[in-house]
A and B are shown apart, each in its own frame.
Chain A
Amino acid sequence: DAKTTQPNSMESNEEEPVHLPCNHSTISGTDYIHWYRQLPSQGPEYVIHGLTSNVNNRMASLAIAEDRKSSTLILHRATLRDAAVYYCILKETSGSRLTFGEGTQLTVNP
């Protein structure tokens, strides 16, 4: 699977928007961009995924660059419960496994 690059850590204040970046310059045309997050002592949790167009769901928004070499996960209003490690993962449509790289540890300050 193509590699992604994320900042090791980010900090935000409660009630403010958070933009978590991910670079994936070697993305292929069949790779979907997935975001998962892992709260302390819990299993990873699906957040959102997309291919080319921006995506919105109840948890977050995903903004994908026109050249698809980067994407940004947007949490519109961070809460303390959003403190987690956020993983950006590329996965082929036909692929099976999710390959976790080094995600971003998000800290939310009250």
Chain B
Amino acid sequence: AAGVIQSPRHLIKEKRETATLKCYPIPRHDTVYWYQQGPGQDPQFLISFYEKMQSDKGSIPDRFSAQQFSDYHSELNMSSLELGDSALYFCASSYRDSSGLYGYTFGSGTRLTVV
């Protein structure tokens, strides 16, 4: 079965540069989530989109922005990168089943290293 696809798998950027991470959700999943996981930390929710509209916002820095496109893929744009932005960035997608529950599937992540 198709999973959540994230690209690139690894990314190295210098301080103050910009980065764009991409996420391709499972077909027919209507919601995309972005999480950040620093070294030794638990995943932290950044932002989510439902049907291409922002549905929830977590601890996402103002330097970051995201959007979901008409084909449901999502991009996380990160500007003025700082050393502390080095982390694993996970994308997840979900669907709402008949009981209102959400099934979440996570991608393998993008490892961003800022040098």
Interface residues of A (CB under 8 A from B): 32, 36, 38, 41-46, 49, 87, 91, 93-94, 96-103
Contact = CB atoms under 8 A, between A and B. Distances in A.
A43 B50 contact: no
A96 B102 contact: yes
A91 B109 CA distance: 23
Given A43-B92, A44-B90, A96 B106 contact: no
A97 B48 contact: yes
Contacts of B102: 91, 96
A46 B105 contact: yes
B100 A96 contact: no
A42 B105 CA distance: 12
Nearest to A34: B104
Interface in B35-54: 35, 42-45, 48, 50
B42 A43 contact: no
